[in-house]
Chains A and B, each alone.
Chain A
Amino acid sequence: MLLIHCPWCGLRAETEFRCAGPVKPPRSEFIDKSDEAWLEYLYQADNRRGILEEYWCHEKGCGEWFKLRRDTATHEIMDGDTDS
């Protein structure tokens, strides 16, 4: 079982968290541009083997949203970013 660092609660079990996918630029950066930019927003995800920055939520805990970095090849979790 992995332990994940919630910026509010500290180290908690992975099962309390929800991963909301890779960090993307905000929707506003795509929506008013071309159709291609919008399609890019809809379809493309950073499907990378290696270290990926993601949004996570301490869903079954305090509800805090934060970013962390995780290695998609090993599931190892790097230090989270606490100021989001």
Chain B
Amino acid sequence: MRSDQRYSIFTLIGGAVRAHRNWKPAWRNPQPKKQYDVVIVGGGGHGLATAYYLAKNHGIHNVAVVERNWIGGGNSGRNTAVVRSNYLRDISIQFFDKSLQLYEGLSRELNYNIMLSQRSEVDVLLTTVSMRNMRRRALNMNRLGIEFQMLTPDQVRQRIPILAPMENCRLPILGGSVQERAGIARHDAIVWGYARGADSYGVDIIQNAEVTAIRRGEDGAVTAIETSRGRIKTNKLAIATGNENAAVASLVDLRLPLRCYNLQAFVSEPIKPVLDVVVNCPDLGVYLSHSDKGELVIGGATDAQQISFRKGGKFPMLEDTVSGLLELFPSFRRLKLMRQWGGALEFAQDGSPIVSATEVKGFYVSAGWWGGFKAIPAGGMTFAHLIARDEPHPLAAGYGMERFSTLNYLLEGGTTVPTD
């Protein structure tokens, strides 16, 4: 971090004294150079974190991040910001827990407040399927030394006092589970913090530049990209284009085993504090948290039936989510919803991410991040390792694309819908 750009209590006071006219832009807005050692396509959390770790961990500073719109304008700017590591498989548990650990140190490391709030996530479980699923996660995680525990119905109620009495209800509470270190972080701050960090190492962040073609040499290796701001030469091209990965990979005739499905979220009008944990209910397909502004941030289940790139939602899904919400919290029945939005989540065939080199020399892919806000630090760290050294980072060694031809599936499941 350049010293003149560090934020501290003194620069804040200095800013206040000077009516905040002293602040400089947090990153440059450079003209693209002719050539870079590495070009990353996609200025979401994953692309920017990758650039940051390439510079910081591997000393590769001649790097560009090429973004077609503005940074953080993709899914990194439209998610519900939940971070947790309660996954099913050993590899995912360890990968996502590393990510959570990196989040824990990130405000200090980036000198940028990411507003991590480890308020814990409590899963409210209404069926034996969910109880079994979460117990399996707990046993696996505890075996790996990572905290995640089951709760009795009384303990669930202690943590979420405004839950419905649910005495004569359709599905009584059978139990719950909790990860104390889970919580939420500010999504824009992750993007901006990594952008500022990468920029301070000399990484060029090039916005409003859409990649439209990829040039290859006689041996098939990547040589350059064409963008709406001109040609940029590079021998290492890494894509982290969110839900556009399949489309961008098709520019080098690669077919990635990816599908995009819709997920939607909405926020309520601001209310007094009522919830101090993230609540997730797999059986009703709803999760929520209470933001610092007072709005409830509510998410639904993925609509995993139809391929979708739509950025809005679907009314039946909204209705399902709201009825689930009211089943848990009848006291919210007069709450008004203020905003509603959706986005396309990208899934690999087995539900695990792809962090991989490909059969096209110099072309690397980071894809399938359907719940990938929480994965940004570890995703960036392991992708940078792969690009710099041409060998996978041990934590992401299972995320290579070869698993689809050797049938080494890494079946993963979310927590918003019951998985079995």
A residues apposed to B, CB below 8 Å: 1, 14-15, 18-19, 21-22, 35, 39, 42-49, 52, 54, 70, 72-75
Contact = CB atoms under 8 A, between A and B. Distances in A.
Contacts of B260: 47, 72
A54 B305 CA distance: 11
A47 B349 contact: no
Given A43-B257, A43-B404, 8 more contacts: A21-B307, A35-B405, A43-B349, A44-B257, A45-B307, A48-B307, A49-B247, A73-B310
Interface string B102-144: 0000000000000000000000000000000000000000000
Contacts of B306: 19, 21, 54, 70, 72, 75
A67 to B, nearest CB: 14
A75 B312 CA distance: 10
Contacts of B259: 45, 47
B310 A47 contact: no
User: For this complex, into which size category does the number of interface residues on chain B fall?
Assistant: 10 to 19
Interface in B296-317: 305-310, 314-316
B309 A49 contact: yes
A42 B349 contact: yes
Interface string B332-349: 000000000000000001
* Interchain residue pairs A-B with the least CB separation, the first 5: A43-B257, A19-B306, A49-B309, A19-B305, A15-B316
A28 to B, nearest CB: 21
Interface string B52-75: 000000000000000000000000
B246 interface: yes
B20 interface: no
A75 B349 contact: no
A75 B314 contact: yes
Contacts of B315: 1
Contacts of B405: 35, 39
A39 B404 CA distance: 8
Contacts of A47: 246, 258-260, 307
A75 B316 contact: no
B255 interface: yes
B96 to A, nearest CB: 24
B307 A52 contact: yes
A73 B309 contact: yes
A44 B316 contact: no
A44 B404 CA distance: 10
Nearest to B306: A19
A75 B305 contact: no
Interface string B367-383: 00000000000000000
Contacts of A14: 316
Interface string B152-179: 0000000000000000000000000000
A74 B310 contact: yes
A1 B314 CA distance: 8
B314 to A, nearest CB: 7
Nearest to A35: B405
A31 to B, nearest CB: 15
A52 B255 CA distance: 17
Nearest to B258: A47
A45 B347 CA distance: 11
Interface in B257-309: 257-260, 305-309
Contacts of A48: 307
B378 to A, nearest CB: 25
B347 to A, nearest CB: 9
B349 A18 contact: no
A42 B350 CA distance: 11
B307 A72 contact: yes
Given A43-B257, A45-B259, A47-B260, A72 B349 contact: no
Nearest to B320: A15
Interface core residue of B258, B306, B315 (most chain A CB under 10 Å):
B306
A54 B306 CA distance: 9
Nearest to A46: B307
A35 B405 CA distance: 9
Contacts of B255: 44
Contacts of A52: 307
Interface core residue of B309, B404, B405 (most chain A CB under 10 Å):
B309
A18 B305 CA distance: 8
B246 A72 contact: no
